[in-house]
Structure 1
Amino acid sequence: MQGRQPNPVFSDEYQLLREILVEARQAAGVSQRRLGARIGKTASHVCMIETGQRRIDTLEFYKVARSVGVEPVALFERLSARLDGLAKAGEV
């Protein structure tokens, strides 16, 4: 019997995703409350995503990007570049 796998929401990769999302929101000058309203969620929901207490799915990622005025593909490219850097550093 194998042990439980660590929760991926606490991985280095997810940390990079959270950083990208927070940076995009802050650069747009959007509060967690306003972002929550824009995506049909509460400020608490946004906070839980940003602090790693909750995972974000693909559709939420899309809505968040659009709601802060960033093309979802561009935001994903930022994430991809940071993940590539993490992989090159041997941390993935």
Structure 2
Amino acid sequence: MGMRAETGIRRSRKARTAPFQETYDAILERLIVARQEAGLNQKEVSAKLGFSHSFLSKCETGERRIDVMELLQLAELYGKSADFFLKG
């Protein structure tokens, strides 16, 4: 396989992720809202779940992608269903 195949894969991968960025940003906004509605700050959440403070901060700012299992842990702590984050 030549460079074209590699370039095509990169382009198609990039094309698939770009349309979903707006959706992911909305999930992150709901993540922050859920934490605030639960009356918790990032340090409290981090301590309760055993995450580092920087981990949660990076997740909320989009610097780090959040894993499905991590999202489920946060949803449980915040008293929200997974649908709250995924469907708004």
TM-score calculated relative to the size of structure 2: 0.74
Q: Which consecutive unaligned segments of at least 5 residues does structure 2 have?
A: none
Kept after mapping to 2: 8 A contact 1:33/1:43 = yes
Structure (1/2) with the larger helix percentage:
2
Q: Secondary structure at the match of 2:65?
A: coil
Query: Where in structure 1 are there 5+ consecutive unaligned residues?
Result: 83-92
In structure 2, the CA distance between the partners of 1:7 and 1:32, relative to structure 1 (3 Å rule), is farther
* Residues 40-60 of structure 1, C-alpha deviations (whole Å, 9 max, x = no match): 111111000000000111110
Match of 1:61 among 71, 75, 88: 71
Partner AA of 1:77 in structure 2: D
Distance change in 2, residues 1:50/1:7 (3 Å): farther
- Residues 1-92 of structure 1 correspond to what in structure 2 (within 5 A)? 1=4, 2=8, 3-4=10-11, 5=14, 8=17, 11-68=21-78, 70-71=79-80, 74=81, 76-82=82-88
Structure with bigger gyration radius:
2
**Identity across the alignment (%):** 29
Is residue 21–residue 50 contact of structure 1 (8 Å, CA) maintained in 2? yes
